[in-house]
Amino acid sequence: MLLVALAITACNNDKKPAKLDSEDAKAAYSIGFMTGKSMSGQLPKLDVANYQAGFDDAYAKKAGSLTQEEMKTVLMAFETRMKKEAEDKHKKDAAEAITKGTAYLAENAKKAGVKTTASGLQYEVIKEGTGAKPKATDTVKVHYEGKLLDGTVFDSSIKRGEPVSFPLNQVIAGWTEGVQLMSVGSKYKFTIPANLAYGEQSGGPIPPNSVLVFEVELLDIVKP
């Protein structure tokens, strides 16, 4: 049903505005819009005109312009090509991120107040607290905001308005090491090399080999 909805919203240059004059029309538009948005991320180069033509023929119960066997063959080839293009892009993005991240870390290390640990983790003190320091086995309560090097915020407990608690040994290595440097009440800025973050993995808005920048405020060490 969702794929059908995409075809309903497939457009060309003379597409007329949707007529949202009934609840069914609004529901159809909503399903189509959300599906189209999702599909545009998965298949940004989809030939929408031919997609629409195929949908129209199937919906009208016409014979397809291709046989079922031809469709199966071409779709398998299309899937293989899309997978190859995605893999090539991933490798290209990963290589570019290494170059960009290495240069950024080198420059950041020169800034006043920035310290670099033996692992390569960089940190600077925004506010120094006076409380206890956590161990790797402790559960900590923090407020934080994480950014990519271009300033994109990919996660923020501050924006959600709710601190987060987690075992310190169950997060990325840069956090495990960095937060142990903090006293309760402190706020630090961490610049975390990719090998102490997510490495070559990518997830959501975080590209592979990304250097990540976090501002972290240690609110408490949670007692068992």
Return the CATH fold of 117-222: Chitinase A; domain 3 (3.10.50)
Place of tokens 């925004």: 126
pLDDT one-digit tens code per residue, 190-212 = 999 999 999 988 777 898 999 99
Q: Provide the annotated active-site residues.
A: 144, 154-155, 172, 198, 214
More confident residue, 37 or 73: 73
Q: Where are the domains of the chain?
A: 2-65, 117-222
* pLDDT (0 to 100) of residue 19: 83
pLDDT (average), residues 2-21: 55
Are residues 9 and 35 in contact, defined by beta-carbon separation less than 8 angstroms?
yes
d(CA 85, CA 80): 9
